[in-house]
Each structure stands twice: as C-alpha cells, then as structure tokens.
Amino acid sequence: MPSDIVMICSKAIAAKGWNIAFAESATAGRMSAEFSMTSYSGEILRGGIVCYDVFIKEQILHVPHITIEKHTPESAEVTQLLAQQAAKIFNSEITVGITGLTSPGGSETEEKPVGTIFFYIITPTEKISHREVFQGTPEEIVSKTIDKTAKLIMDSIASL
C-alpha cells in the first residue's frame, strides 16, 4: 500500500491535471509501482523505465558513456540526464530521475556512502535537484526515497 504522502501527492498531481513518469535506477521500479496503487493512478501515471544497469542508461536513455565514466552511474549529473531523457520519451509534465546507492558494491566513497540518493525532478514550473543520505536497509532506503520524492513534488506544487 502506498504511503500517505504518495497518496496525497498523487491527488495533488491529478488536481493540477498533470501526469508523472519515472526513470528509476536505485528504486528499480518500486516508485512507479507505489504511484500505480493510488486511486489516481489512471489519471496521472504515464509510465516508467528501470535503468538499473549502465547498459540501459546508455543504450535506451542515451546517457553518454563519458558522463557515466566521469561522474559514476550514481551521480547528480547522470540523474539529471535520466530525467531529461525520460521526459522526452514519456512527454510528461512531471518526470522523476533517481539514482543512488542502496547497498554496497556501487560507486560508494566516504563522500558518497551507501544510502546516498540523487533526485532530479522536472515539473512544469521548476527543476529540482536534490541529494540526500538515508540510513537503513536497502528496502528502507528505497521507501524513504519514494516518500522524499513525493514530498519534493508536493513542496513544488504547494509553492504555486
């Protein structure tokens, strides 16, 4: 069942007459699934793409290999490109790009520990770039990421 913030966010998106799409790496489709379980899903959800592997980031979403090599697959720069490419594919009013580290074995460093998540959200009125470090199990990190995404969108809508 989606969290309260996801349900409230979905209702707010529907009230605006907007739709939403996702390019998900770290959340691996879970965000699309959470938004699909709200009563507004038929009105708002355009779709999503799971781009967990670099191959998908490069071949489907056309993120340049040099960008991934320079900044790592889990970076603000790559996340922005994922969102921008997904916005073109889905022709969506709101597009969310997510990358990050939910478990060891990626590009984690002391400055970018496991739990670091990069968000890039395109709305009709602004572009939101956000980085946050969450604590917990991979599932807890993903759940917190989904709720934070909904909160960032809600904050944007509320500022209109």
pLDDT at residue 4 in the model: 97
Contact 80, 99 (CB under 8 A): no
Note the helical H segments in the chain: 4-16, 30-36, 41-44, 54-59, 65-71, 76-90, 138-158
Q: Is the pLDDT of residue 106 over 90?
A: no
Rounded to the nearest integer, the mean pLDDT of the chain is 97
Q: Is the pLDDT of residue 66 over 90?
A: yes
Domains, in order of start, for the chain: 4-158 (3.90.950.20)
pTM for this prediction: 0.96
Q: Is the pLDDT of residue 160 over 80?
A: no
pLDDT in tens, 38-65: 999 999 999 999 999 999 999 999 999 9
pLDDT at residue 158 in the model: 85
Euclidean distance between CA atoms 93 and 31, whole angstroms? 17
Tokens of 26: 């770290």
Euclidean distance between CA atoms 136 and 123, whole angstroms? 29
pLDDT at residue 128 in the model: 98
Q: Is the pLDDT of residue 22 over 90?
A: yes
